[in-house]
C-alpha cells in the first residue's frame, strides 16, 4: 500500500525565502530544456534529410546529438525531482513556471512564480492556472 506524502504548504514569506535555493534550480531547468529542444530539432532535421535523398547530409553527428538529448533529459529529470522534493510544483519547463501550495481563507491555493520575477507576488486557485493569477495582498 502506498501512503501519500503530506503536501507541504507555504506561506508567501516561506515561498519567497525558498526562492534563494529554488531559483538556481529553475534557471538550470530552463537552460537544459532549451538545450534539449535545440538538440532534438537538429537531430530531427538530420534524420529527415537523410531519409530524403540524403544529398550532402552527414549523419555522423547523430550519435552525439542522441547522447546530448539523453544527458539533457536526465538533467531535466534531476531538476524536476529537486523542485518536487522541496514541495514545489513544476508547471512549465520552458519558462520556469512554478507553483507553491498554500492556503488562503481556509482554501487550498497555489502561489505562482515564474523565472525572471523578483519574488512571489501572485496566486491562483487550483483550477485557474497562470491565466487566473491574482495579486497577493501586501503582508
Q: What is the pLDDT of residue 130?
A: 86
Coil, helix or strand at residue 102: strand
Going 25 to 26 to 27 to 33, the CA torsion angle's sign is: positive
CB 83 within 8 A of CB 26: yes
pTM of structure:
0.86
pLDDT digits (tens, 9 = 90+) for 39-85: 999 999 888 877 666 555 666 788 899 999 999 999 999 999 999 99
Q: If you average pLDDT over residues 15-40, what whole number do you get?
A: 97
The alpha helices in 91-138, defined as continuous H runs, are none
Here the cell at position 27 is 534557471
Domain boundaries, the chain: 12-51+58-135
Residues 53-68 as b or e (16 or more Cβ within 10 Å = b): eeeebeeeeeeebeeb
Amino acid at each position: 500500500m502506498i501512503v501519500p506524502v503530506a503536501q507541504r504548504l507555504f506561506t508567501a514569506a516561506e515561498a519567497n525565502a525558498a526562492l534563494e535555493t529554488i531559483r538556481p534550480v529553475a534557471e538550470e531547468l530552463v537552460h537544459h530544456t532549451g538545450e534539449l529542444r535545440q538538440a532534438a530539432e537538429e537531430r530531427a532535421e538530420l534524420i529527415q534529410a537523410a531519409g530524403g535523398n540524403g544529398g550532402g547530409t552527414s549523419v555522423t553527428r547523430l550519435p552525439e546529438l542522441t547522447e546530448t538529448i539523453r544527458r539533457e533529459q536526465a538533467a531535466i529529470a534531476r531538476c524536476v525531482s529537486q523542485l518536487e522534493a522541496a514541495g514545489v510544483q513544476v508547471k512549465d519547463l520552458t519558462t520556469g513556471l512554478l507553483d507553491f501550495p498554500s492556503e488562503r481563507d481556509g482554501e487550498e491555493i497555489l502561489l505562482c512564480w515564474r523565472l525572471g520575477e523578483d519574488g512571489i507576488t501572485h496566486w491562483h486557485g487550483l483550477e485557474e492556472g497562470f491565466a487566473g493569477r491574482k495579486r497577493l495582498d501586501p503582508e
